[in-house]
Amino acid sequence: MCKCHSSKKYVLKLYVTGDTPRSNKAISNLNQLCQANLENQFKIIIIDVLKQPDIAEKEKIIVTPTLVKESPLPQMRIIGDLSDVETVLMGLGIDSNKHDIFNE
């Protein structure tokens, strides 16, 4: 069941730096979080700042991993490997009455 307040699709951009353990953890955490809380109401775009530095510069991405919620508005940025589920859900504006999906 989608815990989001609207039926709008979430567009999430995750900025990472190469194929590192921290980048891979952030990607995995984001995929798990979205599948558990947003069902089919999300689109994830992974941007490797080493391969696309112009995009990172344009978006003023200084630290990776950085998650940017493009929609629904307001835009929100979350920095880190996304392992703090409650903080990520709060930043995305998703109700969470659910316990930590990474410890199930």
pLDDT tens sequence across 47-66: 999 999 999 999 999 999 99
Q: What is the CATH number of the domain that holds 40?
A: 3.40.30.10
Our count of domains for the chain comes to 1
Q: Residue 53, preceding bond cis, omega within 30 degrees? A: no
Inter-CA distances, 27 with 5, 63, 91, 97, Å: 24, 15, 17, 23
> What is the average pLDDT value for the chain, to the nearest integer?
87
Domain with 67, as residue range(s), is: 10-96
b/e for 13-22, b at 16 or more Cβ within 10 A? bbbbbeeeee
Structural domain contains residue 1: no
One digit per residue, pLDDT tens: the chain, 104 residues? 444 444 689 999 999 999 999 999 999 999 999 999 998 899 999 999 999 999 999 999 999 999 999 999 999 999 999 999 999 999 888 876 554 444 44
User: Has residue 50 been placed in a domain?
Assistant: yes
Q: What is the pTM of this model?
A: 0.84
Q: In this structure, is residue 40 part of a structural domain? A: yes
Please check whether residue 38 lies inside any domain of the structure.
yes
